[in-house]
Amino acid sequence: MRLSIFITILCLSLGLQAQETTETYQKAVALIKKTPEFKQTGATVITASAGTVSFTNQAYAFWLDGMDTRFADKDFENFFGDLYQPIEIPAFKKVRDKRRSPYQLYVSETENDMFVIEMLSRKRKRTAKYPTFYQGGSTSFLFEKTATGVRLVETLTLQNN
């Protein structure tokens, strides 16, 4: 009985560490809307998914782009991508402007006070879950939590084909 209570508390505390508040995500999305990458899309509204993307897979793209000092704790030298099971973060879904939008945001879990928000273009009218293999362009925004909120560290545009 004590063991099951301990495991439950441990799982809950680990789950809470991986999620931010809606206010933190709102600050991050406000910063995204001010970026030239977002402005060039011409989008006026976004939608956000409660499902997540892998922080490690996203960090690998930033690492390849030359940000190796940010991820000193990760071994990317022989990295082939991790198998990632998405989790649900309802606090992120609350930041959406509309239910449907040509651009959908996905957030990663937080690691070492950093998280990534990826923006995917949706050409169809209905929303769908994050595709296993996304063909098209996406933009990733790397954020760092600070004492006063969040800070946009880097933006990276990827072309997946």
pTM for the whole structure: 0.79
Mapped onto helix, strand or coil, the DSSP state of residue 46 is coil
- Residue span of the structural domain in which 55 resides: 20-160
Residue type, 120: L
Q: Is residue 147 part of a domain?
A: yes
Rounded alpha-carbon distances, angstroms, from residue 121 to 42, 50, 82:
12, 17, 23
Q: Is residue 126 part of a domain?
A: yes
Q: Is residue 64 part of a domain?
A: yes
Within the chain, what is the greatest distance between any pair of CA atoms? Answer: 57
Looking at residue 92, what DSSP letter applies?
Answer: H
Burial class (CB in 10 A: 0-12, 13-18, 19+), 89: buried
Q: Is residue 5 part of a domain?
A: no
List per-residue pLDDT tens for the chain, 161 residues long. 554 544 444 444 444 444 688 899 999 999 999 999 998 888 888 888 888 999 998 998 888 888 777 888 888 888 887 888 888 888 888 888 777 788 889 999 999 899 999 998 876 544 445 555 455 678 999 999 988 889 999 998 876 65
Order the strands of the 136-146 sheet from edge to edge: 47-53, 103-108, 114-121, 136-146, 149-160
Q: Is residue 146 part of a domain?
A: yes
Number of domains in the chain: 1
Q: Is residue 36 part of a domain?
A: yes
Q: Are the beta carbons of 49 and 92 closer than 8 angstroms?
A: yes
Q: Is residue 65 part of a domain?
A: yes
Q: Is residue 2 part of a domain?
A: no
Mapped onto helix, strand or coil, the DSSP state of residue 98 is coil
